[in-house]
Amino acid sequence: MAYASDKLRWESIPEMLSSGLSLKEREDGEEAKVKYVEFPFEKVFPVYAMGFSKPDTDSVANSGHDQIWDAVREEAKLEAEKEPILSSFLYASILAHDCLEQALGFVLANRLRNPTLLATQLMDIFSDVMMHDKGIQRSIRLDVQAFIDRDPACLSYSSALLYLKGYHSLQSYRVAHALWKQGRKVLALALQSRISEVFGVDIHPAAKIGDGILLDHGTGVVIGETAVVGNRVSLMHGVTLGGTGKEIGDRHPKVGDGALLGACVTILGNINIGEGAMIAAGSLVLKHVPPHSMVAGTPAQVIGSIDEQDPSLTMNHDATKEFFKHVAVNFREGRSNKPLDKGNKDGGT
């Protein structure tokens, strides 16, 4: 996909937006007619929707064919035909842009803006970071593919881009992380605060998170400053990667590639979660977890092994049967090995 070189196209976007989206309707036996949908654009979308800047032609989106972006645009066109009431929204959010980075920056700015953190400022920040950082350009595509592949509730690429706050919070973190590495820590922390407020996801901008991440639902996820999350990891809602107190330095968990962390899992301290491990929902993990093992409980214990290389990809995290079988066996063994009280040697009460 290449950017249009015609400057007139960019200069005419505000006029196009204010006049409404043009939809083609074809009737049987008749030529296509053009219908203009008048829409109070400036009332629904603030003026920042007009504030497009010409994209950097060095972007990865200009270096070749972008199948994900093509899919997003085609989906948006179909949705606009099926739901005309959303046509202006879809045009402003997706169809008015020339690459995934621009559209994502628009969506995030729209979600995170407030009276003092203006959307025009946020769009400039997101655009500057994403259009010049090839690592982020790669990550936003691998992440959206992770949502498509692993979340059955994700209907399409465009729905992930427009509606899923797990995806939004993750990509906003990536921009904050880039700013943190640039030394712009105050701005990165301001973004972290706003992300937490809007999405209910609190990720410190210094944390290191790999590619192909699924942040399913996202609500209640907390990831501390020195936490490290590998590639292809899936995290359900309510996951905490936290410290154990007021210690300083390297104090947060390290999660290996392909791990699956169930809902409301709490992992505390500078401990390692091995590659391909699965942590059952509701577990409290306080010690190292071996690779390709299944742990459950409070505190968590190893209750089995994982056959899959990456359980995060299969999303099979039902450890209920194995967990309760493990508890029952331990309970029976504990009862059989426990010495009888003196007053109960003969079975009396």
Quote the pTM value: 0.75
pLDDT at 283 > cutoff 60: yes
Model confidence at 312, pLDDT cuts 50, 70, 90, reads: confident
CA distances, 233 to each of 119, 127, 294 (Å): 31, 26, 15
Going 302 to 303 to 305 to 307, the CA torsion angle's sign is negative
Please choose, from the candidates 163, 191, 184, the residue with its C-alpha nearest in 3D space to the C-alpha of residue 75.
Answer: 163
Residue 213 has a pLDDT of 97
Model confidence at 13, pLDDT cuts 50, 70, 90, reads: very low
Question: How does DSSP classify residue 93?
Answer: I
Residue 311 has a pLDDT of 86
Residue 306 has a pLDDT of 85
Residue 221 has a pLDDT of 97
Residue 332 has a pLDDT of 61
Domain boundaries in the chain? 68-201, 207-336
CATH fit for domain 68-201, picks 1.10.3130.10, 3.40.190.10, 3.40.50.970, 3.30.450.20: 1.10.3130.10
pLDDT at 187 > cutoff 50: yes
Cα 25 → chain centroid: 36
Residue 53 has a pLDDT of 40
Residue 245 has a pLDDT of 82
Whether 231 contacts 256, CB under 8 Å: no
Going 280 to 285 to 289 to 295, the CA torsion angle's sign is negative
Residue 323 has a pLDDT of 54
Classify residue 171 as left (phi > 0), alpha (psi -120 to 50) or beta: alpha
Chain segment 73-105, per-residue pLDDT in tens? 999 999 999 999 999 999 999 999 999 999 999
Distance CA 25, CA 31 (A): 9
Model confidence at 334, pLDDT cuts 50, 70, 90, reads: low
pLDDT at 8 > cutoff 70: no
Whether 326 contacts 301, CB under 8 Å: yes
* Tokens representing residue 292 in the block: 């390709």
Whether 239 contacts 265, CB under 8 Å: yes
Chain segment 229-269, per-residue pLDDT in tens? 999 999 999 999 999 888 889 999 999 999 999 999 999 99
261 has which bridge partners?
A: 235, 279
Cα 18 → chain centroid: 32
Structure-token match 């025009």, residue found: 120
33 vs 130, which has greater pLDDT? 130
Residue 305 has a pLDDT of 86
Structure-token match 């946020």, residue found: 122
Chain segment 204-215, per-residue pLDDT in tens? 999 999 999 999
CATH of domain 207-336: 2.160.10.10
CA distances, 15 to each of 9, 37, 128, 239 (Å): 10, 14, 25, 46
Residue 337 has a pLDDT of 62
Distance CA 57, CA 52 (A): 15
Chain segment 128-156, per-residue pLDDT in tens? 999 999 999 999 999 999 999 999 999 99
Whether 103 contacts 127, CB under 8 Å: no
Beta-carbon contacts of 245 under 8 Å, excluding residues fewer than 6 positions away, are none
Residue 92 has a pLDDT of 95
Whether 242 contacts 284, CB under 8 Å: no
Residue type, 306: I
